[in-house]
Amino acid sequence: MPVNETLLKKKIAAAQSAFVSNPKSPGQQSYLFVMEDTQTGKVVGTSGIEATVGTQDAFYHYHVGKVVHASRELGVHNSVEILTFCNDYTGVSEICTLFLQEDAREGLAGRLLSKFRFLFMAQHQHRFADIVIAEMRGISDEAGRSPFWEWLETHFFSVDFPTADYLTGIGNKVFIAELMPKYPIYVNLLSKEAQASIGKVHEKTRPALRLLEQEGFRFRGYVDIFDAGPTMEADIANIDTVRISKEATVQISPTLDITLLENYFIINTKIAGFRGCVGQLKSLDISQDTHTVLISQALADTLQICHGDTIRYASTHFTSRT
């Protein structure tokens, strides 16, 4: 996020509006969540979902493809990678704005901050597109210099990476359309450093990438136009947390012994008043049509729910993919 108070206030206002909206289909809603340390009341993380991208402002990517130069007469056949400027992800949903303070990166906090979004989308699928993407941070050094952008800057932009990133962050994307090369770029013409960075993530982003790969997200050849970081993609219905999650009615038990129970990622089913956490529950399968779980009063208070309300949950131990 750029250091711009006006813009940040606008984003917060947009999120507040999203949580009281009632769309029939994916629109311009921008959902921004915060993680709170309930013992201190301190905000320790953020996470977000864009219902759709690219429908108001252009949403740019490079697609990594191939072109073949061949001559049967000369016996020459060369396959060359190219980068094609595109808007192919227009209209999809995006998970974004994931950040967790360093002193909070213990236990299940990081996984909760990522995975609760999939429970939210599973519960309210009509608010989101069928395809979900996540743009991953690409390679850059400690000063914020990207080898990929440095090559583009030298030949096309004359604007450094932090400036370009800031301008895009505040919504000024006109310069991209004006200055970005319109024709495919031959990858072998880039610097060796720029070539090596295409589709690679920053070392601090590797844990987040692994989480998404475990959920079923895959790289389809689309990279960021600034640092060439990969964009990961999945169908909502095929995301593992979405697929294994269950909805249940709650009963509150004042005598529930949580010490023997498994941890779950749990959300209430609200939009306004949404809450999510890691907690323990006991499943009671009363019939094929009704699924009920027992939870403690403390967990009910955290989720701001009452006896008879519904939750959606998924096990913290589920890792079907590697």
Spell out the SS3 assignment of the chain. CCCCHHHHHHHHHHHHHHHCCCCCCCCCCEEEEEEEECCCCEEEEEEEEECCCCCCCCCCEEEEEEEEEEECCCCEEEEEEEEEEECCCCCCEEEEEEEECHHHCCCCHHHHHHHHHHHHHHHCHHHCCCEEEEECCCCCCCCCCCHHHHHHHHHHHCCCHHHHHHHHHCCCCHHHHHHCCCCCEEHHHCCHHHHHHCCCCCHHHHHHHHHHHHHCCEEEEEECCCCCCEEEEEEHHHCHHHHHCEEEEEEECCCCCHHHCCEEEEEECCCCCCCEEEEECEEEECCCCCEEEEECHHHHHHHCCCCCCEEEEEECCCCCCC
Q: What is the pLDDT of residue 105?
A: 86
Q: What is the pLDDT of residues 45-85, one digit of tens each?
A: 999 999 999 998 889 999 999 999 888 889 888 999 999 99
pLDDT band at 319 (very low <50, low <70, confident <90, very high): low
**Domain locations along the chain:** 5-60+89-238, 245-315
What does CATH list as the number for 5-60+89-238? Answer: 3.40.630.30
Phi, psi angles (nearest 5°) of residue 296: -80, 160
Q: What is the pLDDT of residue 321?
A: 53
202 is catalytic: yes
Q: What is the pLDDT of residue 259?
A: 86
Q: What is the pLDDT of residue 231?
A: 98
Q: What is the mean pLDDT of the chain?
A: 91
Two domains, one topology: 5-60+89-238 and 245-315: no
pLDDT band at 1 (very low <50, low <70, confident <90, very high): low
In the CATH scheme, what architecture does the domain 245-315 have? Beta Barrel (2.40)
Q: Considering 77, 126, 202, 307, which one is annotated as catalytic?
A: 202
- How, if at all, do strands 185-186 and 61-71 pair? unpaired
Q: What is the pLDDT of residues 201-236, one digit of tens each?
A: 999 899 899 999 999 999 999 999 989 999 999 999
Q: Is the pLDDT of residue 245 over 70?
A: yes
Q: What is the pLDDT of residue 320?
A: 53
